[in-house]
Structure formats: C-alpha cells, structure tokens
Structure 1
Amino acid sequence: MTVPALDTLRRGACPSLSAPMRTGDGLLVRLRPAAPALAAEDLLTLADLAREHGNGLIEITARGNLQLRGLTEASVPRLAEGLAAAGIVPQTGVAIEIPPLSGIDPSETVDATPVADALRKAIAAASLILAPKLAIVVDGGGVLSLGDMVADIRLDAVAAGWRLSVGGDRQAARPVAVLAEDRVIAGTMTVIAALAALGPAARGRDLDAAALAAEFGVVSEPPPFAALSRHPLGIHRIGGERVLGIAPAYGQMQADKLAALVKGLVACGASEFRLAPHRMLLVRGFSGEGLAEAEACASLEGFWCTDTAPGRSISICAGAAGCASARFDTHAAADAVVRGAGELLDGSVDVHISGCPKGCAHPARAAVTLCGTAAGVGLVLDGRAGDAPAAALPVEDLPSAIRRLGTLLRAQRKEGETAKSFIDRTAPAALVSAYQGPQ
C-alpha cells in the first residue's frame, strides 16, 4: 500500500491504514477489526506488530477502536502487510457501531448485526461523500447496549421496528421516524442522502429533524427507554455465561503488557475477546473458578476489571511519555486525580487530561479538563482542551492543585451529592481559586 504524503495527513479525518495521522510520537493508525470477535492469536499478533512497527503503545478508544502509535511512513505499509497475513481485516467506510455482544445476548430486542451489515453495503453502493467522522449507531439493546453513545444517526430497536433519530445519544437524539424492518435501510439512506446534500462536513446536528419527520409522514416522539446502558467494566451475566470486562488503565497499554494479559487469560479459560466502548475488552469463556483467576491475572498486569475503578471517568492522551506534542505526564496526572480528588470520579462527569490543546483523547466538552499549554497546565471548566483555560499553573504545582480541588469538593459537597451536581452549583471562581491556591 502507499501512504499519503505527510502534508495530506490532516486532523479532522479518522486516522487509518490508508491515511495515518501525524502525532507527536510519529504516525497513528486507528483500526476496528471487521470480525466481531478476536482470538488470542489475533491480539498477540497485534501486540507483535505494534512493537515491531510502532513504539509499542496501544490504545483502545472510547468507541472501542484500536490505535497503534509511533509508526513511520516506512512502517505503516509493513503493518498493513502483517495484518493481512494474520487475516485481521479492518473495517472501512462509515463507522457503524453495534453493541459488542450483538447476536449472543438473549436479552437484546433484536440482533443489530444484519441491519448494520445491510446499511454498510447500501452506503458503499451509494458512493456518497460524507463527513470523515460520521458515526452511526445500530442498537438492538441488551445488557451492554449503546444508549449512551453519541451518534450522527441512530437506529434503536423498539417494539414496532427501529426508531430513527439524529444527533445525540439515545435520550437526546431528535426523532425522525419509527421504521418497520422492511423499510429501515431505505429510510436511513434517505437521511444519509440528506446529510450528503448538506456537504462533506455535515453531521447529524446539522439536519432538520422536523423536516425529515414530515417527509416520512410521521412525527415520532421518543418511546420510553430504560436507563442508559451499563458500563462494560466488570462481570456481566449474559444468558448462561459470565463475561468479564477488562480495561487497560486510562485506555492505554504497552504491547508487552497486552501479550502478558492475553496469555494469562487464556490459561484461565478465555476463548474470545471483543472490543467494546469505554476503552474495553470483553472476554468470554470463563468458568466460575477461572473467572476469579482471570480477575487476579488482569489486576496483576495493571488492568482494571471491577466497575469501581475510579479512573474509568478520566480520558487521557499518550502524554509526554509517548508524544512530543504533550507538555506533561498525563498518566501521572490521572493517578494524582485518583489519589487527591477521587470524589470527582463517581461517573457523573467526564474528566479530561490532555497533554496539549489538540485534545486527541476527548474531543468533546468535559466538566473538567487539565491541558498542557505554553503557560503551564491549564484548567478548563465545561469545555474542550483547545478552549482558553480559566487558570494555568507550572507542571510541578499540579499535584498540589489537584489536592486543593479534592479538599474543596470534600468540604462542600452535600451528603449523597454527585460530582456533577456539586460542579453545577459551585461558582467557577471557587474552583479556579482552589486550583490556583494562595496568591
């Protein structure tokens, strides 16, 4: 394969084998294997390829994709050859997400896989020019549904067929129609064509949902949905089996650690691995005794495997340890937040720690962002990494600033109050003052 010249490797498009993205530690490739499940041999091969052709750092993204870092123009083609030789075929085209346990979860309303496959083929056949980061969710429900995943276009299984909506998660997306099974692909393609007509940068938020609904002849209010999906971390009972959700700390792992984890889990009975949202691996095949051994193995290798892991609410980039653009050690900062301000991490808010203003790990807004800038580590409240910080401190002062934020939260949070509620009612000036400390 031919890798594009570096001046064509721009931000704003999803990095892939054919169009890797330049980062501070070289080129980055993001991929999602087309197969719904991976064998142990596949993951061991990925670890070998990451070590051989990159810097060995592997990430699982918030949407359940793999990222290999530290590649070069010369090594990307060799990575592609290694994947092909191993039979690991990356998905291409528009990103269409389905629940990670589709087809094997007896509690799902319907298996989303056939609809997603048919829609993927229809989009490819239409040859439309669409936004590079366009995201579509086809959610058949189940224990690990995608209710909390934001998408440009959503198809959510309901009793009457599929609810088509645009621009949001399951609760916030604006309804367009409820489509019967035999109309779901044609109806969804009508919305996709409307997006294409708006231009190559159009996203779901740009669509006029009411006008689309009128075109379908049905203005559909959202049907009642259960609470948003469970976090994949920890043990899940899926029919008669138990599935273990494991996460690399903050979504990042070295290739050697991944290889050691996989070999250890296989010894405990693991038979299948599935990538999942929230930077997760879902592992199947354990007996009762093997499950306990698998949890111990994951913990020993530094992976999270319980749903109480506080760091699961933090998004971090590679940081100074892996990226030349980063201005501080994001992993160490995340550990400092867990130790000094763990009350922020109850899952009610997002915390983003970014080595630079590009905000690669969490492009969306976050309640609290710590961002590396020329002036130090900036504090951004309810914003993105690239937003102007409310305050900035030298890197060496960050641990004490985090402790002061934790002290403020512990002193003023009401009993039973979530971190989100506390932040919402607290004046930003109070948070900034705690961050800056005595002046």
Structure 2
Amino acid sequence: MTAFATSALRRGACPSLSAPMQTGDGLLVRLRPAAPALTGEDLLAFAGLAREHGNGLIEITARGNLQLRGLTEASVPRLAEGLAAAGIVPQAGVAIEIPPLSGIDPSEIADATLIADALRKAIAAASLTLAPKLAIVVDGGGVLSLADMVADIRLDALADGAGWRLSVGGDRRTARPVAVLPPERVIAGAMAVVTALAAIGPAARGRDLDAAVLAAQFGTVPEAAFSEVLPSHPLGIHYIGGESLLGIAPAYGQVQADRLAALVQGLAACGASEFRLAPHRALLVRGLSGERLAAAQACADREGFWCAETAPGRFISICAGAAGCASARFDTRAAADAVVAEAGGLLDGSLDVHISGCPKGCAHPARAAVTLCGTAAGVGFVLDGRASDAPAATLPAGDLRPAIQRIGTLLRARRMEGETAKSLIDRTAPAALISAYQGQQ
C-alpha cells in the first residue's frame, strides 16, 4: 500500500499520489501517465477509479494533466493500487513537457522524447531540491508545438535542426535566451541551469535566474532561427501526415466519470484507437477515418466535450463549484453557462473570466479581467483582480444570471466594430459595469 505524508496535505505544492492536496471536496491528485498515449481501456479504468475512490469528477488541466477529486486519506492508496493494476504508471519527478505528437508528427523539427527522457534521468540522478511546480519544456516543433507554453526552462529545436536554444522564464517568444547548444551538449547545458536554480533555493523559478550571467558561462549566444508558423490549437480536426486526428476537450476542463466512459465507448465505436493528453485541457483522438469524424464529433458533443477552438467557454476558468466542493458557495458551471449564453460573443480570448466558488481561487490564482467569486454574502464581482480581492459588488446567487445578462447587454451596445473584449472592458468605466451588475442602470 502506498503511503503519503500528512504534512503534504496542503495547498501550495503540486498535488500527486504521494502528496495529495487538501481541497474543499477532499483530496486532489494530479498525474500525467508516463506513456505518451492511452488506450480506451486505460481511460475506462481511470474513470472507474475516479468513481470508486473519489467523487467521480475528472479534470484535464491547462498543461494536459489529469486530476481526480474527492479522495480521502484511505482512498488515495487504493487509487495508487488500482492504477498499478491497470498498468497506468504516473510520470515521476520534475514536470517536463513535450508536444503531444512528438515522434509521430512528420512536420516536427526533432523528436523531443529522447531529450526529455535523458533530462529527467539526469535531474533524478542529481538529487537536487527544486520548486514543486518547476516546469521544463522540450519543444521539437510540429503542428501542436509548445511555443505558447510558459516554462521555467525551455529547450526549443532550431528551425535548421542543428541544435537547441536554451532559455528561461517564458514561452518561446518571451523566454530569455541563455545558449544555443548542439545536440551533444543539450543535457549538460540544461543541467547547468537546473543546478543554478537549486543553488538559489527550493522555491526558485525561472524568473529568479539572471539570464545574462548564465549566458556568460556558455559564451556568446548566436541568433536562434525559429519557424514563424504558430502552433495550431489542439481542438478540432488535424491532418498529421496521412492521418486525421480529432482534438476534443471536456467543457471547462471537467467531466464526470460516467460521461468520460460513455465518450470512450462511443469513440471506440467510431474507430478510435488511441488517446493523447494535450495542453489547453485537450484530448487527442487517433484512429478515426475521415468518414467517421462527423460521428465522433457528434459523440463528443453529446457527452459535453468541445470540438472546436471557437467554443467561447474555453476562455472561462471555473472550479468544481457547489456541486462538488464544500467550500464553494454557488454553482460555478451554471454561472459559466450563463456567461456563454448571455455574453458569449465577448469571449474572444483577449481577456480572462474566472468563476470561483470561494475566495481561494483554485482554478485561476492569477488576476482576471472579470471574476465572479462566492462569498458568505453572495456572489462577488471583481474587476481586474483575484478571487481573494474585495468585490466591488455582491449579489445573491439567485440574481446572478440577470446580472450577467445586464452586463452583456451593456457591453454589446458599447462595442465598436472589430473591437476586442479587452479593449471594450478597458475603456468602460468600472462604475458602469458595477451598476449593471447590481441592476442600477
């Protein structure tokens, strides 16, 4: 039986089987299967374990990890045993992200898998104490590259395939360059940066590193050439070589175990043979022939999954809400559906909307343009802030949908042709938005 330290049952660390996180609905476990692909049987087993040992709610995170909720100190070890019996091995050690189609995408510059595996082994052998949420990206390019994923340390394959750029603290565009390395020096170079992080302290992240000092250790950093082609969003139909592939995502990143099982069974009937977790809360489905894609999309839609990157709800972050968490004060999913219905045209990706059941803000710890937060007094309305910030106005949960409708009406009337939602919010007086929320127009 797997044991875990009770001292780890707290917020602030990365939850895992050995260190689950205490939340309002019990313990939370996050994991990434070590295998790059899952079978339908794997997902069915996972759904069964979520139902048997948790509350049945499964989440796919923004980085493509799986989360199970509602676990207990007694059920976490049984979950570990069930995963082992199903042959699902969780990835251990530092989180190292690679494109979900690494090794099978003919358009990639380099297969990131071998570099990532070697780096993971080198870090484990070094026995360094690193930040629990440290993130490393090894991006070999391709249709679903990780160019837009922020990481503490990045290794990006150069467009000419001659080497890798090592950089820190950002996505491919914003990360600060440290060195350009030939393949034979990549692991040693990356380990120099990892060691520098460990030397700062156990909470150090990429933003804490001095890129200029690191670069001086490697000598001059030559100009790095990258493909200008932006990565596709995982949702929708992709053609990889001669293969059609479907990207889907559970609405708001959440799905009940029974609906996941129904999805897998339905997609298997359409010919699905393999599933891959992907960033943006997505699941990539392989094995679908062109004539079965429409049936597969209909199946996904029926089970509450999105199949297109245009789904407006993609830009809303929600927690489990009152339906799954004792700390939550209202139904966050119903609120998100109301935002989509009443103001979906404003969800263009230019701003974040956060709907939090309580001030802890689990789903989106950072600031958001608009936050709806459950409090003892009702649902608070926060502009350009976090769930923990004092709300500008508060309404009973029963009055929330009309309030969302009023704000949607106000903003649609003010919106100029071609204007982004962010620009619209930025130039709208906070007092006008607050008045609309309160019904004082």
**TM over 0.5, yes or no?**
yes
Whether contact under 8 Å (2:2, 2:80) holds in the other structure is no
User: What is the CA distance between 1:191 and its match in structure 2?
Assistant: 0.8
User: What is the CA distance between 1:82 and its match in structure 2?
Assistant: 0.7
Amino acid paired to 1:336? A
Structure 1 stretch displaced more, 323-332 or 402-411: 402-411
Alpha-carbon distance in structure 1 between the residues aligned to 2:277 and 2:210: 33
SS at match of 1:68: strand
Alpha-carbon distance in structure 2 between the residues aligned to 1:429 and 1:47: 46
* Structure-2 change in CA distance of 1:429 and 1:111 (3 Å): farther
Whether contact under 8 Å (1:12, 1:133) holds in the other structure is no
Alpha-carbon distance in structure 1 between the residues aligned to 2:10 and 2:69: 16
2:73 paired residue number: 73
User: What is the CA distance between 1:415 and its match in structure 2?
Assistant: 0.7
Q: Which runs of 5+ in 2 are unaligned?
A: none
User: What is the CA distance between 1:2 and its match in structure 2?
Assistant: 4.2
* Structure-2 change in CA distance of 1:85 and 1:328 (3 Å): same
Alpha-carbon distance in structure 2 between the residues aligned to 1:426 and 1:335: 24
1:126 paired residue number: 126
- Which of residues 413, 436, 439 is equivalent to 2:438? 436
* Structure-2 change in CA distance of 1:401 and 1:200 (3 Å): same
User: What is the CA distance between 1:181 and its match in structure 2?
Assistant: 1.0
Alpha-carbon distance in structure 1 between the residues aligned to 2:233 and 2:389: 29
Whether contact under 8 Å (1:343, 1:409) holds in the other structure is no
- The residue correspondences of 1:335-374 to structure 2 (distance < 5 A) are 335-374=337-376
Amino acid paired to 2:295? E
- The residue correspondences of 1:38-437 to structure 2 (distance < 5 A) are 38-158=38-158, 159=160, 160-219=162-221, 223=225, 226=228, 228-437=230-439
Whether contact under 8 Å (2:54, 2:72) holds in the other structure is yes
How many residues matched?
A: 439
2:26 paired residue number: 26
* Structure-2 change in CA distance of 1:113 and 1:84 (3 Å): same
Alpha-carbon distance in structure 2 between the residues aligned to 1:192 and 1:91: 19
Alpha-carbon distance in structure 1 between the residues aligned to 2:191 and 2:116: 12
User: What is the CA distance between 1:187 and its match in structure 2?
Assistant: 0.8
Structure 1 stretch displaced more, 88-97 or 310-319: 310-319
| 1:383-409 C-alpha deviation (Å, 9 max, x unpaired) | 332233333322222212211221122
Amino acid paired to 1:233? L
SS at match of 1:4: coil
Whether contact under 8 Å (2:180, 2:224) holds in the other structure is no
Q: TM-score, normalised by structure 2?
A: 0.95
Q: Which runs of 5+ in 1 are unaligned?
A: none
| 1:173-232 C-alpha deviation (Å, 9 max, x unpaired) | 122121111111111111111111110011111111122122221245664552542221
User: What is the CA distance between 1:104 and its match in structure 2?
Assistant: 0.8
User: What is the CA distance between 1:351 and its match in structure 2?
Assistant: 1.6
Structure 1 stretch displaced more, 335-344 or 376-385: 376-385
* Structure-2 change in CA distance of 1:387 and 1:140 (3 Å): farther
Alpha-carbon distance in structure 2 between the residues aligned to 1:428 and 1:43: 45
| 1:122-163 C-alpha deviation (Å, 9 max, x unpaired) | 110111100000011111111111112111111111134111
* Structure-2 change in CA distance of 1:285 and 1:218 (3 Å): same
User: What is the CA distance between 1:69 and its match in structure 2?
Assistant: 0.9
Amino acid paired to 2:200? L
SS at match of 2:146: coil
| 1:317-340 C-alpha deviation (Å, 9 max, x unpaired) | 110000001111010000000011
SS at match of 2:193: helix
SS at match of 1:81: helix
Whether contact under 8 Å (2:5, 2:18) holds in the other structure is no
Amino acid paired to 2:113? T
Whether contact under 8 Å (1:341, 1:406) holds in the other structure is yes
Alpha-carbon distance in structure 1 between the residues aligned to 2:391 and 2:192: 42
Whether contact under 8 Å (1:163, 1:178) holds in the other structure is yes
* Structure-2 change in CA distance of 1:98 and 1:224 (3 Å): closer
Whether contact under 8 Å (1:53, 1:78) holds in the other structure is yes
Q: Percent identity?
A: 82
1:13 paired residue number: 13
Structure 1 stretch displaced more, 213-222 or 306-315: 213-222
Whether contact under 8 Å (1:137, 1:155) holds in the other structure is yes
* Structure-2 change in CA distance of 1:7 and 1:197 (3 Å): closer
| 1:267-302 C-alpha deviation (Å, 9 max, x unpaired) | 000000001111111000011111111111111222
SS at match of 1:175: strand
Structure 1 stretch displaced more, 139-148 or 326-335: 139-148
User: What is the CA distance between 1:429 and its match in structure 2?
Assistant: 3.5
* Structure-2 change in CA distance of 1:339 and 1:201 (3 Å): same
CA RMSD of aligned residues (A): 1.7
| 1:76-107 C-alpha deviation (Å, 9 max, x unpaired) | 11111111011100001110011111111111
User: What is the CA distance between 1:38 and its match in structure 2?
Assistant: 0.2
SS at match of 1:387: coil
SS at match of 1:295: helix
Whether contact under 8 Å (1:109, 1:142) holds in the other structure is yes
